[in-house]
Amino acid sequence: MPAVESTYHREFPVKGGDFAKAGAAACEIKELLKDLGLAPATVRRAAIVAYEAEMNVIMYAWEARIGLTVSLDEVRLTVDDRGPGIPNIELALTEGYSTATAEMRELGFGAGMGLPNIKRNADVFAIDSEVGRGTRLDITIRMNGHKP
């Protein structure tokens, strides 16, 4: 009989501009992964990715869904947003490059570290963006990964 691979999937809606709820999705994802018994280092990496992605949506996009899929050997996070998109992805991935407003910076964010932080914590990182439509992130964190 073939082995049954169990996967867990859930989606978390995030609203752009909703600073009051910032971090709610990431904290819920972290608790879920802890409850699933994942190693603390893997949980931390996934939580950081989810949190930075959630903050990006809140700061720049209109709305998004963060998809969490956990299988035996990896955690996958997808972020599909409806938003202005990123005109120059290479630039957006440069540490320190930011288009954040002064208000965002006062909150402790917008230092141009969001996407680079996500990439650092990912074993597989893919980004696709269309100006005027939105951005899609697809992140894989392997259970046996060693980043960062």
Residues 93, 113, 127, 143: which binds other proteins (CB under 8 A)?
113
DSSP 1-41: -PPPPP-EEEEEEEETT-GGGTTHHHHHHHHHHHHTT--HH
Q: Which stretch binds other proteins (CB under 8 A): 6-14, 21-29, 66-74, 82-90?
A: 21-29
Report the SS3 class of residue 98.
coil
List Cα–Cα distances, 45 to 2, 145, 146, in angstroms.
32, 10, 10
Interactions with other proteins, residue window 50-89 (CB under 8 A): 50-52
Residues 79, 80, 83, 117: which binds other proteins (CB under 8 A)?
117
Give the length of the chain.
148
DSSP state, 70? E
Q: Which stretch binds other proteins (CB under 8 A): 62-70, 71-79, 110-118, 124-132?
A: 110-118
Q: Residues interacting with other proteins, by CB under 8 A?
A: 20, 22-23, 26-27, 30, 40, 44, 47-48, 50-52, 107-109, 111-114, 116-117, 120, 148
